[in-house]
């Protein structure tokens, strides 16, 4: 528990300040530009999550072998995994940026974005898409640092970037009157700053990362191995987000008022969900290092401690939001949107009631990924997508209530798969470890 907290708390602060990007954008947009601008930013939330999640997921997958090699003490393999990860981030960054910018209009049209907020939504999300290389830079460099056990440096740069983001929001929106484009531009610049800071720490702070001759050579076999780890994690986020896009599309069909209420409630919920993200990130590194070091018993100890943390935090969140949901929602709503508070409260409290299943999703899924079973974790994303898709089809029949229960249904269905999958993975690792020990004993026997 002490080890998990010592690593996880800095990660938590990193996620909290990362959320300040979105919170600052949304709060300033909602309070200064009004409900329509807030709905424009909010209507892009699910597609934003899909693309950014894919980028963050594959970067996280590329760094899992780094954690495993660090745990095994193989520094040469570690360096070569890092350099190959850099090559792959450049390639995927260019491809994803090009595709999303070209298809931006098609995506927003397909999501039934209301006509009165369409142009603002396009301006906001197109700017985010153009800035995707900054997303790759930060997520990969921060992932490498965490794989080496440094969870503090990414936090320090996230804090600095968040403060810069808030200042730029005020300057771009209130001084230069750039509307929602200014909010998006501030986010891109701030994330580029955080990525540059983490890169500087990698280059100057870790002798183990001082590249030697041949480390930068392209290795097709290694690239395939990294893609086997990274693509399932990226696809996992994207598959999960497809369900969210379907729900967002259904909510968009209910009208701008519902979009605004869901946007406010989602921003509050995302902030409160940061500890679950931190738990997942911690378990990915913990699982990778202990699997690399063949410390099988510690896997169970770590996941047990983290599940206890998830249960306690879920109960605390429910108590806090039951009392303060309306004031927190009003951080993102202007005075003219007070009538939307009942909708926002209903959406928020329905989700917080099911935070413990969400904690299990993050803890177990990321542990499985860290242990080296990323494709299995992707299947959980398919379960989440199926649940959200099913509820999206029910929105026209049952209205807003169906949208409120979409995420809880997704979390529960994912857990139905993940819990037995974790024990299956543990058995696989234990059997593989026993086989290696028997082989080593046979080779060292007299006469062999």
- Look at residue 323 in the predicted model and tell me its pLDDT: 93
User: Which two structure tokens, joined as six digits, stand for 439?
Assistant: 């082989």
Question: Above 50 in pLDDT, residue 13?
Answer: yes
Residues 6+ apart with CB under 8 A from 52: 128, 132, 135
Task: Please state, rounded to an integer, the average pLDDT across all residues of the chain.
Answer: 86
**Helices marked H in 171-273:** 179-205, 220-254, 256-272
User: Which two structure tokens, joined as six digits, stand for 221?
Assistant: 């076999």
- Look at residue 434 in the predicted model and tell me its pLDDT: 59
Range from 60-64, 265-269, 417-421 that averages highest in pLDDT: 417-421
- Higher-confidence position of 66 and 244: 66
Q: How confident is the model at residue 193 (pLDDT cuts 50, 70, 90)?
A: very high
Question: Above 80 in pLDDT, residue 132?
Answer: yes
- In this predicted structure, which of 223-232, 247-256, 334-343, 426-435 has the lowest mean pLDDT? 426-435
Q: How confident is the model at residue 198 (pLDDT cuts 50, 70, 90)?
A: very high
Task: Identify the CA nearest to 42 among candidates 56, 55, 57, 29.
Answer: 29
Q: How many helices (H) and strands (E) does the chain have?
A: 18, 0
Range from 36-50, 116-130, 239-253 that averages highest in pLDDT: 116-130
Question: Above 50 in pLDDT, residue 392?
Answer: yes
Residues 6+ apart with CB under 8 A from 163: none
For the chain, what is the radius of gyration of the CA atoms?
Answer: 22
- Higher-confidence position of 137 and 205: 137
- Look at residue 448 in the predicted model and tell me its pLDDT: 43
User: Helix or strand or coil: residue 393?
Assistant: helix
The mean pLDDT of 341-351, rounded to a whole number, is 92
Question: Above 70 in pLDDT, residue 436?
Answer: no
- Look at residue 103 in the predicted model and tell me its pLDDT: 94
User: Could you give phi then psi for residue 156, rounded to 5 degrees?
Assistant: -60, -45
pLDDT in tens, 168-183: 988 999 899 999 899 8
Question: Above 80 in pLDDT, residue 22?
Answer: no
Q: Where is 386: in which H helix or E strand?
A: helix 374-398
- Look at residue 23 in the predicted model and tell me its pLDDT: 67
Task: Identify the CA nearest to 371 among candidates 309, 286, 279.
Answer: 286
- Look at residue 125 in the predicted model and tell me its pLDDT: 94
How many CA atoms, within 13 angstroms, populate the side-chain half-sphere of residue 30?
27
**DSSP per position, 336-376:** GGGGGHHHHHHHHHHHHTTHHHHHHHHHHHHHHHHTT-HHH
Q: How confident is the model at residue 20 (pLDDT cuts 50, 70, 90)?
A: low
374 within 8 A of 233, measured Cβ to Cβ = yes
pLDDT in tens, 271-304: 898 899 889 888 888 888 888 777 877 888 989 9
- Look at residue 386 in the predicted model and tell me its pLDDT: 87
**Helices marked H in 103-117:** 104-110
The mean pLDDT of 136-149, rounded to a whole number, is 92
- Look at residue 210 in the predicted model and tell me its pLDDT: 87
- Residue whose structure tokens are 């039934």: 112
User: Helix or strand or coil: residue 25?
Assistant: helix
Q: Cα(189)–Cα(133) distance, rounded to whole angstroms? A: 11
Q: How confident is the model at residue 61 (pLDDT cuts 50, 70, 90)?
A: confident
Question: Above 50 in pLDDT, residue 343?
Answer: yes
């Amino acid at each position: 528990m002490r080890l998990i907290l010592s690593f996880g708390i800095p990660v938590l602060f990193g996620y909290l300040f990362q959320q300040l990007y979105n919170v600052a954008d949304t709060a300033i947009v909602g309070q200064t530009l009004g409900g329509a601008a807030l709905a424009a930013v909010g209507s892009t939330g699910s597609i934003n999550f899909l693309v950014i999640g894919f980028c963050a997921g594959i970067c996280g997958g590329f760094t899992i072998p780094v954690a495993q090699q660090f745990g095994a003490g193989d520094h040469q393999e570690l360096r070569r995994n890092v350099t190959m990860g850099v090559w792959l981030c450049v390639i995927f960054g260019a491809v994803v940026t090009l595709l999303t910018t070209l298809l931006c209009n098609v995506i927003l049209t397909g999501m039934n974005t209301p006509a009165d907020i369409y142009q603002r939504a396009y301006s906001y999300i197109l700017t985010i898409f153009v800035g995707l290389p900054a997303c790759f830079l930060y997520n990969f460099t921060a992932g490498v640092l965490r794989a080496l056990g440094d969870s503090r440096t990414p936090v320090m740069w996230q804090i600095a970037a968040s403060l810069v983001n808030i200042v730029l929001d005020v300057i771009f929106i209130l001084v230069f009157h750039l509307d929602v484009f200014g909010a998006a531009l501030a986010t891109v610049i701030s994330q580029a700053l955080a990525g540059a800071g983490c890169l500087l720490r990698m280059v100057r702070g870790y002798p183990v990362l001082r590249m030697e001759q041949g480390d930068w050579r392209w290795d097709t076999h290694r690239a395939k191995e990294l893609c086997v780890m990274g693509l399932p994690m990226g696809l996992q986020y994207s598959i999960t987000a497809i369900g969210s896009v379907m729900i967002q599309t259904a909510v968009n069909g209910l009208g701008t008022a519902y979009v605004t209420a869901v946007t406010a409630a989602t921003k509050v919920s995302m902030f409160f969900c940061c500890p679950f993200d931190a738990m997942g990130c911690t378990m990915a590194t913990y699982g990778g290092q202990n699997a690399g070091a063949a410390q099988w018993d510690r896997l169970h100890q770590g996941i047990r401690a983290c599940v206890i943390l998830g249960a306690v935090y879920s109960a605390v969140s429910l108590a806090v939001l039951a009392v303060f949901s309306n004031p927190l929602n009003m951080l993102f709503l202007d005075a003219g949107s007070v009538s939307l508070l009942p909708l926002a409260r209903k959406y928020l409290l329905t989700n917080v009631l099911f935070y413990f299943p969400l904690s299990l999703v993050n803890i177990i899924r990321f542990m499985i990924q860290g242990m080296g079973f990323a494709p299995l974790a992707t299947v959980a994303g398919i379960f989440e997508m199926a649940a959200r898709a099913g509820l999206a089809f029910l929105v026209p029949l049952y209205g807003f209530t169906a949208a409120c229960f979409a995420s809880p249904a997704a979390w529960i269905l994912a857990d139905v798969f993940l819990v037995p999958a974790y024990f299956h993975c543990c058995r696989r690792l234990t059997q593989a470890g026993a086989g290696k020990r028997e082989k080593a004993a046979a080779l060292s026997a007299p006469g062999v």
